[in-house]
């Protein structure tokens, strides 16, 4: 029996796209999908639709599927995160042998990946938590891939993953061994958190401009930005969204303003809280989505306010510079979260390489991400880079103007506000935290440090 190079479980949109990507790159692949409920036809239909692929084999029997793959077996799971992963792993285990590799390509919580890695290692099975970004198109044509796990496992799967990955400007694969156990899924989680904030920033720009501009005018303004340093995939698709019509009407005007989420943004916020990092922009973006869900209540409460005349529109250059300011802060917070996690989990993550594999294939690819490769190669964060810090310092006045415009016109700008507050806090020598610590000592005898004595000592006052 001819053995295939690779196996994939889960023929959803992403699974199908990756399967064809693997096959197009001259690897043979076995695919499997469960046959419960209304899924009995999925494998046969997929194989029939792509009958010209001689290197594509479909299975509905898990035993035959596993046996069809060369050892060490490399099996990619493209299924829903959570209990389903554990269930499929348990289903596979009786048929696996030493050094076989299970790759979880979904958006699993990194702590679950750490647990699964440890559990399967005791059975001599490799587990790779692998972040994959790029959506359906990326999966088909080349995604950004973030595998975590043992280096031994990566040496076996890298020829395939690096071949199907997107390529950077130097034609290097946007795939790298990120780190051990949960590192890949952690990095993908933060990618999604940065994505949340990037999306929210563009939504807030739209909320400012729609007061005084048509959809086409907003798209033209953003198109101008997209020709310069702000160029990004998210900016590009936002322009396309604003211009898309259904008959004579713009589709965006018919989309209900309730934003859903799948949880990776909130996971980033929770991780930041657990690790002790101020990822305020990601959290603000998550909460903005939550607030949007209260549509009926928002409509009711809005009736208590008269519509006021909108002040004269804001200068486009101010808004563009404020956008640049906020994007730098967003990346600063995201990469700082990754760096701190790397220290706490002993992952030794390479921030510059992470930026590099995010320059193509993924949702947050942009010109600024390209610039970040060198910045993070030479510095541990963006603030240490003199050029970037000066850009922030010089553009502070523009984000102030945007926030003043927001106050005058009752526009909610969650992520712009979070960016500015973080910047002010981080560049202020003396904060008000001494009051907080005094309060803690007053009611709980938690002690405090003094600024006039060696601060390695702690004191308590009988208030």
386-406 per-residue burial string, b: 16 or more CB within 10 A, e: under 16: eebbebbeebbebbebbbebb
Decide if 343 contacts 210 (C-beta within 8 A). Answer: no
Burial of 246 (0-12, 13-18, 19+ CB in 10 A): exposed
CA 205/CA 310 separation, integer angstroms: 15
Q: What region, left, alpha or beta, does residue 8 occupy, with left being phi > 0 and alpha being psi -120 to 50 degrees? A: beta
d(CA 301, CA 16) in angstroms, rounded, equals 45
Place of tokens 């064809």: 20
Is 32:44 a contact under the CB 8 Å cutoff? no
Beta partners for residue 126, in sequence order: 101
Active site residue 230: no
Hey, which residues does 131 pair with through a beta bridge?
Answer: 146
CB-count exposure of residue 92 (10 Å: 0-12, 13-18, 19+):
buried
- Cβ atoms < 10 Å from Cβ of 414: 22
Structural contact between residues 277 and 337, judged by C-beta atoms closer than 8 angstroms: yes
| Residue of 195, 198, 204, 336 marked catalytic | 195
- Residue in 109, 104, 167 with CA at minimum distance from that of residue 357: 167
Q: Which of 94, 103, 87 is nearest to 15 (CA)?
A: 103
Q: What distance in Å separates the CA atoms of residue 232 and residue 203, rounded to the nearest whole number?
A: 15
Cβ atoms within 10 Å, residue 48: 10
* Residue 294 token pair: 């209260």
Q: Which residues contact 255 (CB under 8 A, 6 or more apart)?
A: none
Catalytic annotation present for 97: no
Q: How many helices (H) and strands (E) does the chain have?
A: 19, 9
Contact 319, 205 (CB under 8 A): yes
CB neighbours (10 Å) of residue 106?
23
**How far is Cα 43 from Cα 34, in angstroms, rounded to an integer?**
9
Q: What is the dihedral of CA 91, 92, 94, 100, to 10 degrees?
A: -160
Q: Identify the active-site residue in 188, 198, 204, 230.
A: 188
| CA-closest candidate to residue 180, choices 131, 128, 124, 111 | 128
Q: Which residues are catalytic?
A: 188, 195
């Amino acid at each position: 029996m001819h053995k295939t190079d690779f196996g994939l479980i889960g023929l959803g949109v992403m699974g199908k796209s990756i399967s064809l990507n693997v096959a197009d790159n001259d690897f043979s692949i076995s695919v499997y999908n469960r046959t419960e409920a209304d899924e009995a036809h999925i494998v046969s239909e997929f194989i029939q639709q792509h009958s010209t692929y001689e290197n594509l084999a479909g299975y509905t029997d898990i035993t035959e599927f596993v046996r069809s793959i060369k050892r060490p077996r490399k099996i990619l799971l493209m299924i829903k995160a959570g209990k389903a992963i554990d269930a499929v792993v348990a289903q596979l285990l009786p048929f696996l042998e030493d050094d076989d590799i299970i790759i979880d390509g979904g958006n699993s919580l990194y702590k679950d990946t750490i647990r699964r890695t440890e559990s399967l290692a005791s059975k001599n099975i490799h587990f790779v938590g692998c972040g994959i970004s790029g959506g359906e198109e990326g999966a088909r044509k080349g995604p950004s891939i973030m595998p975590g796990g043992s280096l031994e496992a990566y040496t076996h799967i890298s020829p395939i993953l690096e071949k199907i990955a997107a390529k950077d400007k130097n034609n290097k694969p946007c795939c790298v061994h990120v780190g051990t156990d949960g590192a890949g899924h952690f990095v993908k989680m933060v990618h999604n958190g940065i994505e949340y904030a990037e999306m929210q920033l563009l939504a807030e720009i739209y909320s400012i401009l729609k007061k005084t501009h048509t959809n086409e005018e907003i798209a033209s303004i953003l198109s101008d930005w997209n020709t310069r340093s702000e160029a990004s995939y998210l900016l590009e698709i936002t322009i396309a969204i604003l211009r898309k019509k259904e008959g004579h009407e713009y589709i965006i005007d018919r989309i209900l303003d309730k934003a859903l989420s799948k949880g990776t943004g909130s996971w980033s916020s929770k991780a930041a809280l657990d690790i002790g990092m101020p990822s305020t922009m990601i959290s603000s973006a998550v909460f903005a989505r939550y607030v949007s869900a209260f549509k009926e209540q928002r409509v009711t409460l809005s009736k208590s306010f008269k519509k006021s005349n909108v002040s004269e529109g804001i200068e486009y250059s101010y808004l563009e510079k404020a956008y640049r300011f906020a994007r730098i802060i967003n990346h600063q917070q995201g990469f700082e979260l990754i760096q701190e996690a790397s220290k706490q989990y002993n992952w030794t993550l390479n921030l510059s390489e992470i930026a590099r594999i995010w320059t193509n294939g993924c949702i947050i690819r942009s010109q600024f991400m390209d610039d970040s490769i060198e910045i993070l190669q030479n510095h541990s964060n963006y603030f240490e880079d003199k050029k970037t810090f000066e850009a922030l310092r010089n553009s502070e006045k523009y984000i102030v103007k945007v926030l003043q415009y927001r106050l005058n016109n009752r526009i909610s700008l969650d992520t712009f506000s979070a960016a500015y507050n973080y910047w002010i806090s981080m560049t202020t020598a003396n904060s008000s935290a001494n009051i907080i610590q005094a309060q803690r000592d007053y009611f709980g005898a938690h002690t405090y440090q003094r600024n006039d004595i060696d601060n390695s000592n702690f004191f308590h006052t009988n208030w």
